[in-house]
Amino acid sequence: MISINGIDFEFKKGNKISDYTKSSNSFKDKKFFVFEKDGRLYDIDTTVEDDSKIILHNFESEKGKEVYWHSTSHILAMAVKIFTKNLKGNERNVKLAIGPSIENGFYYDFEFIDYKFSEENIVEIEKIMQELIDEDIPFKKVEIKKEELLKIYKEKEEKFKIELVENIDQEIVTYYENYSKKYDFRFFDLCRGPHLPSSGYIKFFKLISTAGAYWRGDEKKEMLTRIYGISFPEKDMLLQFISKMEEAKKRDHRVLGKKLGIFSIFEETGPGLIFWNTKGGMIRDIIERFWKDEHLKRGYQLVITPHISKSDLWKRSGHYDFYKENMYIFKIDGDEYVLKPMNCPGHILIYKTKIHSYRDLPIKFAELGTVYRYERSGTLHGLLRVRGFTQDDGHIFCTPDQLKEEVEKVYDFAIFMIEKFGYKKFFVELSTMDRENQSKYAGTLEEWDFAQESLKDVLIKKGVDFKVMPGEAVFYGPKIDIKLEDAIGRKWQGPTIQFDFNLPRRFDVTYIGDDNKEHYVYMIHRALLGSLERFIGGLIENYAGKFPLWLSPVQVSILTVSENSVDYAKKICKILDRENIRYVVDFSDEKINSKIKRSEEENIPFMLIIGKKEAEEEKLSVRMKGHGDLGKKNYNEFLKLFYENL
């Protein structure tokens, strides 16, 4: 007997899973195309020699999507090879790099020889892809000796594939091939698989865009052409994706950030370094003040650590050995220094300035600490991927008995913060160790079990629906990650709560217990917003630049119709000053419609329009973003309306 998704079938040794999915009414309509056994994915026509648990996947699962999209990337690469052969008479005029599935779709990287690929070629590539899909070409898995495949790739001068094969530490490797009768073309690609049974499973697709990408992400290596795409089994899915993509373009924080005057990046200073303009500076200040106030309410102590320190500190922490390629290192007076890539060692040094008793714990430090990390220029992306950013770091030093309570407090604090900023939907992941590779991790197995169970118990107590991620823990401890969903359904990295077995031992971070002996502290890293740069970039896109009233850098614009209403407008300014309401004025002679249009474009929540009649009646014509003209109100009525929406 074999059990597939809880349904038992008679199973003959050596049969294929596809025999069951094709013959059983329970599975035919589900369109399963790949299966999982013992944590690994296999092609659906793979034979099964035992009665292991089988999990079937179709496009509804994340693993199914990955296979679907990766298979489409192979069809894209095949189409590009055919396109190049038709154009140049030789498929060798394009070199294949890699073509993985990604969060939303897939891409493939190519190097075009003696030809400049452009967006205009996309239409022709799509036409060839559609013909290959209509042909319903099988994906055939082939096992081959590493040296034989190297020989084939060398003969074809596929330099990127040669490099990939040479780095495989196995004698036998696999590739997948597809043969088109229409084009009389055999395509093959180095790949572990699995894949769809055939190209006909791909129903609807679109090539989205092209971009430049360095081989291996290294700007010192070849610049490649990256083609992005998406595919779905149903047309409505593709149409919805295209609609969401168009909406995402409108919300692009790089475009809105420039248009709204929030931030700038200057060539004179280099990529990945953010300059906050006046409005961006105000948004940051609002967030930072709120952040500090909420931390002080919860017993955190604010600390500040230097931007640079001797490399000895980072050698002791372990970052120098494992993170050196991402650090900025330089010399001062013959000593080696580092621009800090993180804040944790500095907080530990502050903790160690005195001896602590168990009665002192928990001790909670928090810092808005600016850190610097080397990111390759090809990976930089507006506010979302930068080289200098401010981390909202916090570290809790506690005893084992306090661990669960402190994790619960951090979790509650994290949810409070993200809901305050307007995120209503989120997903929680618990990353645990790989028990088969214990040597990769700091700490003992008993300590890991205790920490993992503590995190798990907190989530269960809170009634949180969470996903366990085996083997996804960092080497120093397990963690809880909270992913945020924005207004158009995209996921963003949110708060993280991480346990650390590594640094307390490296820095001998202890407390005196009730037995008068030294014990290692239990140390919790936590970031509620993460990088302020990335968080604000996400806020811009989530709100499409239309920030809620409390976060808006400018809350009110005061617009005069004529010169004889300026004096009354100045009186209103004094009232707003007294209420600490953020405002701008426009007393110019420009037509009022132009002033209103500009305020609308700048997404200012309230407009107070003052003409001669308003000045005489001591009233205000009030307009509210999203609601239009609200009519005339006196300033007390306006203040009431303002605070009702704050």
Phi, then psi, of 370 in degrees rounded to 5: -80, 130
Residues in a beta bridge with 213: 224
Is 525 catalytic? The answer is: yes
CA distances from 492 to 18, 254, 307, 418, 472 (A): 37, 16, 27, 11, 18
| CA-closest candidate to residue 109, choices 374, 508, 378, 354 | 378
Q: Structure tokens of 265?
A: 């990046």
Cα(107)–Cα(59) distance, integer angstroms: 18
d(CA 146, CA 126): 33
Contact call for residues 274 and 257 (beta carbons, < 8 A): no
Side-chain half-sphere CA neighbours of 229 within 13 A: 31
Is 178:140 a contact under the CB 8 Å cutoff?
A: yes
β pairing state of 466-470 and 425-432: parallel
- Known binding residue 344? Answer is yes
The secondary structure of 80-114 as a DSSP string is: HHHHHHHHHS-GGGEEE----EETTEEEEEEEESS
395 carries an active-site annotation: yes
344 is catalytic: yes
Out of 525, 526, 595, 619, which one is annotated catalytic? Answer: 525
Active-site annotation holder among 393, 481, 486, 500: 393
The residue annotated as part of the active site, out of 284, 347, 373, 409, is 373
Which single residue is written with the structure tokens 């990335």? Answer: 534
Catalytic residue among 189, 195, 295, 344: 344
Answer whether 71's CB lies under 8 Å from 196's CB.
yes
User: Is 391 labeled as catalytic in the residue annotation?
Assistant: yes
Of 358, 461, 363, 448, nearest in space to 404 by CA: 461
Contact residues for 90 (Cβ-Cβ < 8 A; gap 6+): 84
Instruction: Tell me whether residue 398 is annotated as binding.
Output: no
Establish whether 627 is an annotated binding residue.
no
Question: Annotated catalytic, 479?
Answer: yes
- Residue 128 buriedness (CB in 10 A; 0-12 / 13-18 / 19+): buried
Catalytically annotated residue among 391, 402, 452, 555:
391
251, 253, 364, 479: which one is catalytic?
479
Q: Who contacts 129 (Cβ-Cβ below 8 Å, separation ≥6)? A: 75, 76, 79, 205, 207
Residue 266 to residue 427: CA distance in whole angstroms: 36
**Taking the alpha carbons of 459, 463, 464, 470 in that order, is the dihedral positive or negative?**
positive
Tell me the binding residues. Answer: 344, 395, 525
Instruction: Point out the residues that are catalytic.
Output: 344, 373, 391, 393, 395, 479, 525
Tell me the binding residues for Zn(2+). Answer: 344, 395, 525
